[in-house]
Chains A and B, each alone.
Chain A
Amino acid sequence: MSMTQQAAPAVGTPPAPGRDGRTRQRSLALRLLARPEVGVFLGAVAVLVFFLMAAPTVRQGNSMATVLYQSSTIGIMALPVALLMIGGEFDLSAGVAVITSALTASMLSFQLTVNVWTGVVVALIVSLGIGLFNGWMVVRTGLPSFLVTLGTFLILQGVNLAVTKLVTGNVATDDISDMDGFDQARKIFASSFDIGGVDVKITVVWWLVFAALATWVLLRTKYGNWIFAVGGNKESARAVGVPVNFTKITLFMTVGFGAWFVGMHNLFSFNTVQSGEGVGQELIYIAAAVIGGCLLTGGYGSAIGPVFGAFMFGMVNQGIVYAGWNPDWFKAFLGVMLLGAVLINLYVQRTATRR
């Protein structure tokens, strides 16, 4: 950082001293705190330590695997939701879109008696289509994404129930576990493997892979640069040539991809899908992203933060059970966590980004 010593200003006026002189080098601790994911990392460690002490069961490998599994199903969706939030938009339809995707794959495969992979591919197209529709509506109309996706949320919720009842005569889809390609698809979306006698679900691996990929894209690619820019200042971004609409629409489609993936996981681990589920999940994803240090107004955040945010959710969710408490407290606990995280984020940002 001592790069400013040999500065030779090109202009004739008395040169400014080597350093601007008005900025003190901030301490390492302060600079670390300015990273969006550090606050939530500390929070996650605190929750982990708390439950390690309060609930001895958590110390066993199998319990930890369950916690991670729970975290991963939230975490896989929290990632694209976080990217979208950094890009300055919301998606309230993310929760029910997961179910829409699972229903599509399940019913299509069963009713037409085709290989489940056909259903999986069609579900992917439908999910990306929902994302495309959300994104296109938002950039075309200029309406807040809150409104647009609230509309999609209600539409999908209704369609999920109505179409399922129409097709199967029931609120759940038929069991597809004996169909062609099921075992193969299950291996990818819902299998588990053994590490040192502990049964680890494959979604945990996918979660971490996606998180690494999202971090790389966000910090090391042009597209990542655009995400920050469209969330931070849309007009400036447009003025310097960033394809704002393209960026926003593809972000919505990324959420669609996430919904597809989690939907497939649900389908292949439970064999059947309840059409009324998914409501309320979208807020959990958004909360995980916010706890993970993403700014609700866009332009700031990380992909690693939501990983810790989702872990906190999984930890609290399972930890309460392992500690033998009434699980009804879960939501209250979450609320406190969310508020706490938001306050910490606010404080950290104010102190750490101040000159």
Chain B
Amino acid sequence: MAFAAFGSAPAGTSGVEQAPRRRSRVALILLAPGLAYLALFFLTPLVSLVLTSFQAPVEFGDVGQYQPAFKIENYAVVVEAYWPHFLRAFGYALAATFFALIISYPLAYFIGVKARRWPLLQALMLTLVIAPFFISFLLRTLAWKSLMSDDTPLVIALKALSILPPDGHLTGTAFSVIFGLTYNFIPFMTLPIYTTLERLDTRYLEAGSDLYAGPATTFWRVTLPLSLPGIVSGTLLTFIPAAGDYINASASFLGSAQTSMVGNAIEANFLGLLNYPAASALSVILMGLILIIVGVYVKRSGTEDLL
């Protein structure tokens, strides 16, 4: 269900043409490598993850030694300990998705609709959207850290303008984490929206104008609903990885202990504390919550008419 939203088919066409499914031996043979891959690299780790989440420590064993068990309390313990991390994860991801949408939509609209007459400009702008991918996102996030850390011209200027209190910081705050997430996911938001807007038939906009709808009404009633598939894919591509992100919020990048998200908690438990059951339980909960949120979101945006 969620995957259907990634294919940004223009509204209205989905479901109309569906090729009849043919199950044949050839199809099965062709599918076999993919199925084997999924079984080996997706299903096995998933099962292993769930099993690990129920494990109990080996009595008198070393740190990091666990044995198979059915210790369901692991879940209660991690929720108790890390519920603020979950709240921050979803809160920051939601905020980042929102800001990325606000920034990406006009950008995608300009590239996909306004710049149609200048294909060269269109290509140039698309390249610029993708260009950051040529540099590792760790480096880019570190670059932002050094730009926003204390005693940089930016922070000094903000302090001089009294926007930031004299003892304030930019890094290590919710602001810098949301900023980093927004920045890192803008291309993932822009590209799917661009694909739907690029195919937007401007004759619909003319029809709207002909039927007494001003530019704002035409945008709200025609352009936005028609670009909804792109918005759904873009927000999913941003929200899901952002909710599990642990780079932006980590203290070595843009965050601090006060901003740590569930991803950081998983990382700490897995790599630092060697508490594998806790890390696995956190991962399972995170996955479950994201599935529920995405499921509800896709269902609602798919059936609602926004009218």
Q: Do A and B bind each other?
A: no
**A residues with CB within 8 A of B:** none
